[in-house]
Structure 1
Amino acid sequence: MKSRLISLDVLRGLTIILMTIVNNPGDWGHVYSPLLHAEWHGCTPTDLVFPTFLFIVGVSVVLATSNKSLNINAIQKILTRTLRIFCLGLFLSFFSKIQAFGLEGLPLLGVRLIITAIIVALLFRDYDRRLQFYSAVSIFTIMMLLAFGGFAHYENVRIPGVLQRIAIVYLIVSLLYLKTNWKTQAVFGLIVLLVYWALMTLIPIPGIGGPNFEKGTNLAAWLDNYLLPGHLWATSKTWDPEGILSTLPAISTGIAGLLVGTLLTNHLSKDKKALYLLIGSVFAVVLGLLWNIVFPINKSLWTSSYVLYAAGIASACLVVLYYIIDVLGISGWTKFFVIFGVNPMVVFFFSGIIPRVLSSILIDNPGGPDHDPITLQTYFYQFILSPLFSNPVNASLAYALTYLTLWYVILYILYRKKLVFRV
C-alpha cells in the first residue's frame, strides 16, 4: 500500500465536519446562507461538500491500491465494497418505513434498531471475503424485492442517495484505475462531461418540449421519473438530486481524484507536485466558470461545469493542505480533523440513523395545545437550546455544532482505541 497522506485525511475530516453541520441545523427556516444549497443554479460552500468527497474517493483509490492488476480477486473486492456502501445508503431510506407485527412507538423503534444492528454487523465487520460478498448481495436483493415487490410499506422508498452515488462512482473509478493509465482516464472523464452536456442540451424531453435546465422538466428529471417512479427524493417526488443520469458526470468527479492521486504518488519532488496540482486546480476552476456561461453550475443536475469547478476547488484545498502538512511539515494542528477523517462511513451512516431515531421518540409538548406530542429532537432544540440565544439563526447553528460535538466524542473514542471501520 502506498504511504498515507495526512493532508488527505485532513481534507476528508474537513468535508465530514462541514457535511455534519449543514445537514443538521436546529431549524431549517433559520440557517446562514453559506450553509444552505443554492436554490438552483449557482454554488455555495455547502454545494462543495459532496463533490469533494467523491474527489477524495478517487484519490483514495490510488493511495489504497498496492497491486494495479484487474483479476478476479480485485473485482470481487471492488464489487463487495460497492454493494456494501450502496446497501448502507439504501437502508437509510428503509429505516423509517420498517414495520413489524403492527408495533408502534418505542417497540417498533426497538425492532428497527435491532435490524440496524444486524445490517451494521454484516456490512461493517471484517470477515471472510467470500461471505462478505454473498451477504452484501443478499441484503441488496432483499431490499430490491421489498421496494419493487408490491409491498405497500416500501412502494415509495427512495432508491437513489448520497451513499448510493458514492458506491457507483467508487465502482467505476476503481475499475478504470486498475485497467487504464492516467491519460485514458483523463480522456474518458472529459468525454463523459461532453456527452452529458450534449444529452442535456440537445435531446428534447418527451411530453414536455425542448431541452432545458429547469427543475422537474429537464432530461435528467424525466429519466428519473420514467425509470424510478415513486422511488425518488421525497421533497420533489418526480426527480432526484442523486438521480440516474446525473450520476454519469459524477463519475468524472471521481476521475479528477484519480488524476490527482496519480500525480501525488509519482516520483516528482513535493514542490513540483504542489505546483502542478495548483496549476491544474486553477485551470479546472476557470474552465468550469467559462462552461457555466452555456451550461450553468448546478449541483442537483451535477452539470459538467459544476464538475470542473467543484473538482478544481477540492484540488486547490488539497494542495494548500499538502503544502502546509507534507511539504513544510507543519502538522501539529491536524489531529482534530484526522479524527473526523479516518472513519467517514461511520459518520455517513449513523449521522443518518441518529436523527431518524430522535425523530421517532415522541414526548409531550409543554408549550403546545393539549400537549400534542413532539419529537425528542424538537423538544431539545425548542425548549433547551433555543432559549439560550436571542438570534434564531445562531440557535440553529448552535444545534448543529452541538451535534458535531457529539460526533467528535464518538470518533475520538474510536480513534483512541484505534478502531477504524471500513466497508
Structure 2
Amino acid sequence: MLKERLTSLDVFRGFTIILMTIVNNPGSWGSIYPPLEHAEWNGCTPTDLVFPFFIFIMGTAVPFAMPNKTFDSTTFNKILVRSLRIFCLGLFLNFFSRLDFLGLEGMPLLVEKLILTFLVAYALLGDFSAKIKTILAFSIFGILLFLAYSGLPAYQDVRLPGVLQRIALVYFFTSLLYLKSNLKTQIIVAAILLLGYWALMTLVAVPGFGAANLEKGTNLGAYIDELFLKNHMYSQTKTWDPEGILSTVPAIASGIIGMLIGQLLNLPTSKIEIVKKMSFVGLGLVVLGLIWSIKFPINKSLWTSSYVLYTAGLGTICLTLLYYIIDVAHYSKWTKLFLVWGVNPMIVFFFSGILPRVLTMIKINHPELPGEPLGFQSYFYNYGIVPLFENPLNASLAFALFYAAFWSVILWILYQNKLFYKV
C-alpha cells in the first residue's frame, strides 16, 4: 500500500528522474543540445541540477519518513541496511558489464547477466524480514568488494564510486543526524561541512602537485581518490572520480539542507506561511551560492560549497512552487505522469541503467550494409530514428524522449497495479 505522502515532493522527484533519464540516454553523445550536457568544468547547466536535486529531495523526505525521531538499534539497523542496499544497487551497475562467472554450460552470456541482474534486484528491492534484508545486503556488498580486490582481470579496474553510492552515504549520515540532533546542530554541521571543504580545497597543498588548486586531476580531492581508489575510478577520468571521496562531504550538506526544508514543511503553521519561509530560504541560498562562487566557483564535479548552496536554493524554489500549486492551491490534475515516476525511483534508476547495457550486447547486422554488427540500441537509433530528422540534435533528443516514454508506460503499469519498490 502507498503511504500518505506529500504530493508536491513526489512530483518534484518524478520530474527530476525524468530529466535524468533524458540526459543519460541521448541517441548520440556527439549530438546533444547544450542545456542537456554537463558544464565543461565550472558553471551549472540544467543537467547539473539533476543529481543535487535528487539528493535534496531525499533529504527533504527524511522528516516525513521518520516523524517520531525515535532512535534505537532497530532504527539504526534499518538506516544502515537501506543505505547498504542502495550502495549495492549502484555497485552492481558498475559490475554489470564485467560479470561472467556463472559458468552455465551452453547458456549465452547475456542470459547469464540477466539472471544475475534479476536475482540481485530481487534481493535488494524485495520485501523481506529485517534479518533477511541485512544478510542479503551485507552478502552482496561483500561479494562485489571481494571481486573488485580479488586480482581477477575482469574486475581489477571496475569502478567503485557512483551516483547511487553517493546517495546511499548521504542518506546514512543525514538520517542519523536528523534523529540524533536538533535544528541548530544540523545547521551548524552543514556549515562546518561546507566551510571545512572550502578550506581543504583552497588552502591545503596537494602532495605531488604543489599549491592548493581547483583544476582537473590535480586538486586535493583527486589526490585522495588516487590514494584510496586507484584503478577503481570513473573510466573517463581515470585518475579522479566525479563521485569521489572528498567531494561526498559537501554532498552530505546538500542532503542536510533538504532535511532542513523537510522540517520546515512540517511546521505547525499555515501553508501560506510555509510558502513564504521557503521562498525566503530558497532565494537566500541562491544568492549566497552566487556570492561564494566568486572565490569558490560553482562546479558539479568538485561539488563545491557554492554549488551546494546554489542548487539547494534552486531546489527549494522549485519545491516551493510545486507545494503552492499542488498542496495549497490544490491544482493537481496534471501531476499523474510525474507521480508514476516519483513513487518508484529506485526501480527506474536501476533498470533504466541496465537496459542500455543489455541492448548494446544484442548485435544486429544490416542486410544492405555488411560490416561490423551494431548493438540493438545503436541499430534502432541509426536506422529507426535518424532518418526521420534532418537535424542530428533533434534525432538524438527524439531517442531520449522515446526512451523516457517507454519507461513511462512501464511505470504507469506498476502504478496502476499498486506495485511500489523501495529499498
Q: TM-score interval w.r.t. the shorter chain?
A: over 0.9
| TM-aligned CA distance change 1:273 to 1:264, over 3 Å | same
Q: Does 1:13 align with 2:14?
A: yes
1:227 corresponding residue in structure 2: 228
Find the counterpart in structure 1 of residue 339 from structure 2: 338
Q: In structure 2, what is the equivalent of residue 409 of structure 1?
A: 409
Change in CA separation of 1:382 and 1:346 when aligned onto 2, cut-off 3 Å: same
Q: Which residue of 2 aligns with 1:185?
A: 186
Contact 1:343 1:422 in 2 (8 A): yes
Query: TM-score, normalised on structure 1?
Result: 0.98
Does the CA-based 8 Å contact 1:2-1:63 persist in structure 2?
A: no
- Letter paired with 1:61: V
Partner of 2:44: 43
Preserved contact between residue 102 and residue 112 of structure 2 (Cα < 8 Å): no
Q: Please say if 1:57 is aligned against 2:58.
A: yes
Give the Cα–Cα distance (whole angstroms) in 1 for the partners of residues 106 and 192 of structure 2. Answer: 51
> Which whole-Å CA distance do the structure 2 matches of 1:206 and 1:128 have between them?
48
Conserved 8 A contact 1:365-1:372: no
Q: Deviations over 1:73-118 (max 9, x none)?
A: 0000001100100000000011100113778998001101101111
Mark the CA change 1:419 to 1:3 in structure 2 (over 3 Å): closer, same or farther: closer
Q: Counterparts of 1:364 and 1:380 in 2: how far apart (Å)?
A: 11
Q: Which amino acid aligns with 1:202?
A: L
The answer on 1:380 being equivalent to 2:380 is: yes
Tell me the equivalent position of 1:87. 88
For the 8 Å contact 1:20–1:351, the answer to whether it is kept is: yes
2:69 corresponds to? 68
**Aligned ranges 1:349-364 → 2 under 5 Å:** 349-364=350-365
- Report the secondary structure of 1:96's partner residue: helix
Report the AA paired with residue 272 of structure 2.
Answer: D
- Aligned-CA RMSD value: 1.5
Q: Are 1:256 and 2:257 counterparts?
A: yes
Q: Post-superposition shift, 1:66?
A: 3.3
Mapped to 1, the partners of 2:326 and 2:101 lie a distance apart of 52
Instruction: After TM superposition, give the deviation of residue 366 of structure 1 in Å.
Output: 4.8
Residue 7 of structure 2 aligns with an amino acid whose one-letter code is I
Give, in whole Å, the separation in 2 of the partners of 1:101 and 1:147. 17
Conserved 8 A contact 1:156-1:230? yes
| Structure 1 residues 205-257: Cα deviation after superposition (integer angstroms, max 9, x where no partner) | 11111111111111111111111111000101111110000000000000011
1:239 paired with 2:235, answer: no
Matches within 5 A, 1:183-222: 183-222=184-223
SS at match of 2:190: helix
Q: Which residue does 1:314 correspond to in 2?
A: 315
Deviation at 1:67, TM superposition (A): 2.5
The percentage of counterpart residues that share the same residue type is 57
* C-alpha distance in 2 between matches for 1:366 and 1:8: 49
Q: Is the contact made by 1:105 and 1:361 (CA closer than 8 Å) also made in structure 2? A: no
Equivalent pairs counted in the alignment come to 422
CA deviation after TM superposition for structure 1 residue 28, in Å: 0.8
Letter in 2 for 1:255: I
1:156 alignment counterpart = 157
Q: 1:282 to 1:366 in 2, by over 3 A?
A: farther
In the aligned structure 2, how far is the partner of 1:309 from the partner of 1:317? Answer: 12
Where do 4+ consecutive residues of structure 1 move more than 6 Å?
A: 101-106
**Contact preservation (8 Å) 1:386, 1:395:** yes
Contact residue 297 and residue 303 of structure 1 kept, 8 A? yes
The aligned amino acid for 1:277 is M
1:371 deviates by 1.9
SS in 2 for 1:372: strand
Q: Contact 1:31/1:397 (CA < 8 Å) preserved in 2?
A: yes
Contact 1:13 1:338 in 2 (8 A): yes
Residue identity in the other structure for 1:47? D
Q: Say if 1:3 and 1:63, in contact at 8 Å, map to a contact too.
A: no
State the match for 1:288 in structure 2.
Answer: 289
